[in-house]
Amino acid sequence: MPLPLAPPSSTPLSNQHFNTSISSNDHPSYMRLALSYAHESRPLPTNFRVGALLVDSASNRILTSGYTLELPGNTHAEQCCLSKYAAEHNIPEERVGEVLPERAVIYTTVEPCVKRLSGNRSCVERIVETRSKGGGIRKVYVGVKEPETFVGDNQGRKILEDAGVEVVLVGGLEEEILRVATAGHVATS
């Protein structure tokens, strides 16, 4: 019997796997859960507040969750998911693809970044890197395309698709996702 849907944890480094009452094809509900994690990120003018879930789509288990700035440094939600999952398996993040389930997918409220102004590796690079041994993340579900606020046109979708990662837009929550993502940004007239 699946466990009830787990809300965001008040313990940022909590990395417990959990089953959900969400059916495996209910992508809007997974996106709503990812959005609940985005709310955990503090609003700043220099970041989007993003939530993400790393899911084994074969077993319908959430492997880990993440949100912007959850971990030390200028961390993004997808990066936090991959870093926490790698840490759980005592391997460097660069090797996380070796331990990901065959049908791993990631849900992220905002399209993964293709460029980091901080100099960190982009989330697109991290996702593509999981594929280096033939496994890794096969599908990325996104709530909205990345706004052009910080890096202009995001070519991440093309890079992901060229690497064999399917990108699927999950519609219906765009306004709420953008409201949460841009909280803390200074309005320009």
Question: Which residues are part of the catalytic machinery?
Answer: 78
Give Cβ neighbours of residue 73 (< 8 Å, ≥ 6 apart). Answer: 120
**Contacts of 134 by beta carbon, 8 Å cutoff, 6+ apart:** none
Q: How far is CA 75 from CA 3, 22, 85, 118, 179, in A?
A: 29, 27, 15, 10, 20
